[in-house]
Amino acid sequence: MQNTMSSLTGPGLRRSRAWKKTVVAAGFLMAVVVPGPVIGQDMVPASLTLDEALRLAIRNNPRLQAARNDIAVADWNLNAAYGSWIPSASLSSSVSWQGAGEQRFGSITADQLGFQDQPSFFFSSYSAGINYSLNGRTLMAPGQARRNRDATRAQVRSEESVLRLNVTRAYLEGLRQVEGLGLAEQELERARFNLRLARGRQEVGSGNAIDVQQAEVGVGRAEIALIQARTGVRTSRIQLLQQLGVTLAAEPVLETTFAVTEPLWSADDLYDMAVGTNPNLQALRAQEEASRYGVSMARSAYFPSLSLSAGISGFTRQASSTAGQEAQAIATGQARIEQCRTLNGLLSLLPASPPPQDCSLLATPQSAIEEIRAQNDAFPFNFTRQPPSLGLTISIPVFQGLGRQRELESARAQLNDNRFLIREQELALRADIESRIAIVQTAYESALIEERNQALADEQLRLAQEQYRLGLSNFIALVEAETVKAQADRERVLSIFTYHDAVADLEAVVGTPLRNQ
């Protein structure tokens, strides 16, 4: 691919080193660099090759970068699918406060139950649990996510292939515009030479003012063509910048050259190669694999599911005041004392009464009061543990309507659709290869013919200039020869880049470079 294009280029298209320097100095070659350090963009070297342009585009093109973001999402989908195999755990805690007042339990109030002067309360609690669920869909989720990721990566490779084709076309268009600029400069130089010839003949008396005026018009038209050629170079540069996804700050030289060589590729060989390398076909096959696994995943809805759960919890309850509890405990002690005294009085009436009990021992001791106070001191971390729980559930789906079968049939239909798309792509691939090889062959033969035409136009112009200089022909014949020469040069350049465009299209279909094969 690094052979020079001059192998099939006539003398009129062979530019000298001085002409190349003029073009570079004019500043109309395409290139890209960032103005200062810009995140996500590379610096462009002084000499930009096609390979370097492709590298820049793959790194910086916004559309491709957006497509690559889908790979990161697909990676996380795979991680999440594996994460579904891990038990889920939860830990919760709560703190609450209840103000003083009368509470109601259904249709009964606390006052009716004998609980009066209820203080405010502080509550805290905690709970910890672990849950584990397993079913067919959960087991197969990582496999499905992995195949979806492969399909996403294949789609990104397809986007890269499209970008490579667009960058190659833009690069070739840039070279074509530069060649057009060189032709425009050559035409202007020939027009000025013709003007000098016309003026020279007028000075020696063998010419006339009409020839000079026609020559001046030719110079003006050549100047217009040169301006248009410069605009074409600028436009092609902007289009290349758009594909590369970088900003303009310098104008390095486009170094890659392309040779027009006879296409010797076989359609069968290229088809066999394309079956394994065509990015669109690879993306469809990855989608087919994901759809095939999706059928198995839809069928897993008929499998049993298992669920395991375990948990622990605790709570605290603390009153803002224990005065009510203490008074109740003291009242209970007083009731026991009164009951004891009544019993002693009754026993004293018996003929042989036993000795009376010491009722003072039944009074509520201070230790009981302290215990009430100690038990109330629980908020917020002195939890009372509740009984732990453990559960195991096995569910066997028997009949859940026709939803599962509908999903299964939908997955099968998707699989069949992908298979048909692959078959369609394979047929289109063979047809594209056959047609594009024919286009490349036609472009090659056209380039050979245009090379001969260019050589004949060169000779015709040389003879016309010599005859006009010697006075053997008029200026109209010279202008006609000049027109034929300009058209031959442009058709020659057009045929060369038509050939390279056709090769680029063929490479995009096959999915791999072919210029070195």
Domain count, the chain: 2
Residue 515 located in a structural domain: no
**Which of residues 343, 375, 395 is at a domain's end?**
395
- Both 377 and 425 in one domain: the answer is no
Residue 191 located in a structural domain: yes
Between 34-38, 152-156, 184-188, 368-372, the lowest mean confidence (pLDDT) is in 34-38
**pLDDT tens digits along 111-166:** 655 555 678 888 899 999 999 998 888 989 999 999 999 999 999 999 999 999 99
pLDDT of residue 1: 37
Name the average pLDDT for the chain: 83
Residue 443 located in a structural domain: yes
The parent domain of residue 343 ranges over: 87-138+304-395
- Both 296 and 338 in one domain: the answer is no
Which residue, among 443, 484, 494, has the nearest Cα to 177 in the 3D structure?
494
- Find the CATH number of the domain harbouring 298: 1.20.1600.10
**pLDDT tens digits along 414-456:** 999 999 999 999 999 999 999 999 999 999 999 999 999 999 9
Percent of the chain residues topping a pLDDT of 70: 86
- Both 73 and 177 in one domain: the answer is yes
Residue 516 located in a structural domain: no
- Both 49 and 197 in one domain: the answer is yes
Between 229-243, 290-304, 446-460, the lowest mean confidence (pLDDT) is in 229-243
Is the pLDDT at 496 greater than 90? The verdict is: yes
- Local confidence band at 384 (pLDDT 50, 70, 90 cut-offs): confident
The whole-number average pLDDT for the span 346-350 is: 81
- Both 297 and 308 in one domain: the answer is no
- Both 117 and 235 in one domain: the answer is no
Residue 198 located in a structural domain: yes
**pLDDT tens digits along 13-25:** 333 333 333 333 3
Angle at 499 between CA 497 and CA 504, to 5 degrees: 90
**pLDDT tens digits along 477-493:** 888 888 898 889 999 99
**Which of residues 373, 395, 417 is at a domain's end?**
395
Coil, strand or helix at 348: helix
pLDDT of residue 250: 57
- Both 292 and 192 in one domain: the answer is yes
**What is 239-269 written as a DSSP string?**
HHHHHHT-------EE------------HHH
The single-letter code of the amino acid at 29 is L
| 87 or 515, which is more confident | 87
**pLDDT tens digits along 264-280:** 999 999 999 999 999 99
- Both 284 and 200 in one domain: the answer is yes
Residue 490 located in a structural domain: yes
pLDDT of residue 112: 57
For residue 308, report the phi and psi dihedrals to the nearest 5 degrees: -125, 135
**pLDDT tens digits along 503-512:** 999 999 998 8
